Amino acid sequence: MSPVLEIQGMSKSFVKKRNLIGMPSAHTHAVKNVSITLEKGRTRAIVGESGAGKSTVGRMALRLATPDSGSVKLFGEDIMKMSAKDVRRLRRRATMIFQDPFNSLDPLMLVGQSVAEPLTLHTPLRGDDRKQKVAELLERVGLRVDQLEKYPHEFSGGQLQRIAIARALSTEPELIVCDEPVAALDVSIQAQVLNLLLDLQREREISYLFISHDLALVKMFAHDVTVMRRGEIVEEGATEQIFSDPQDPYTKELLSAIPKMNPRKRAERRAAVTTA
């Protein structure tokens, strides 16, 4: 079986500066010759400090940004060669969750409407069937159905992220790119959201491309890790191997920063994730 996601030799530059007549005069090489493979039902983390190019890789994986070179295959198909219609079909199967749930939901839409929107766009479900599906989704992420008729500002960050997950799940995707999905949440809430993602993976064999700068989370959550620095992959491998026997000096540096986290918080977090 072909991998869910297969990125080969992908690069991307952005214009950083323009001269007086508007011609580009400096570029940021955000992503340089990156190759990544993600198998069905697995989680691959992309780690690295801010500006490493992680989010740009995630967006290009879903054709939300266009690479300058290289190829991206999703479910065995080259997404750069797809028609608009095929890309629409792809949006059902592969979607994204972002860091900030406050910005990822429309503040003027009832949350029920937000969760229903992808169903309207991508599925034939209408009327009571659609309502029923929205209610099931909300229940699945641990919210009450009477909360459908509320606005985003009436929820906490953790609840909103679970609503964003319900929305992402609505079309039954096989791949979710999670871009720092819990970075904006309190530690105790992080565990709830991560456990939800883990349960969903077990139930539905969803694959995650899990973008994070938090190595402690990655260790608990990911099967495989890709380490990026300044647009390039410096190391990749099975999570256990990367954590127990890192080869690249930059990976070692990242790992040595983990124990600086408050030990009590770390213990709390580990307990929360492993026992819930």
Ligand X SMILES: Nc1ncnc2c1ncn2[C@@H]1O[C@H](COP(=O)(O)OP(=O)(O)O)[C@@H](O)[C@H]1O
Residues that bind ligand X (CB under 6 A): 14, 28, 30, 48, 50-56
- Residue 142 binding result from Mg ion, ligand X, none, given CB thresholds of 5 to 8 Å by partner type: none
Q: How far is the CB of 55 from Mg ion (least distance, A)?
A: 3
**DSSP 8-state code for residue 141:** T
Q: How far is the CB of 28 from ligand X (least distance, A)?
A: 5
- C-alpha 59/C-alpha 65 separation (Å) is 6
**Could you report how far apart the first and last alpha carbons of the chain are, in Å?**
33
Residues in the chain: 276
Q: How far is the CB of 69 from ligand X (least distance, A)?
A: 16
- Residue 152 binding result from Mg ion, ligand X, none, given CB thresholds of 5 to 8 Å by partner type: none
- Residue 112 binding result from ligand X, Mg ion, none, given CB thresholds of 5 to 8 Å by partner type: none
- Whose tokens are 């986290």? That residue is 261
CA distances from 65 to 10, 19, 41, 46, 88 (A): 12, 25, 24, 17, 15
Q: Which of 55, 95, 212, 251 binds Mg ion (CB under 5 A)?
A: 55
Closest to ligand X by CB, 192 vs 226, is 226
Closest to ligand X by CB, 150 vs 213, is 213
Q: How far is the CB of 91 from Mg ion (least distance, A)?
A: 21
Helical ranges in 40-142 per DSSP H: 54-61, 84-93, 101-104, 111-122, 127-140
Q: Given the rule CB under 5 A, which residues bind Mg ion?
A: 55
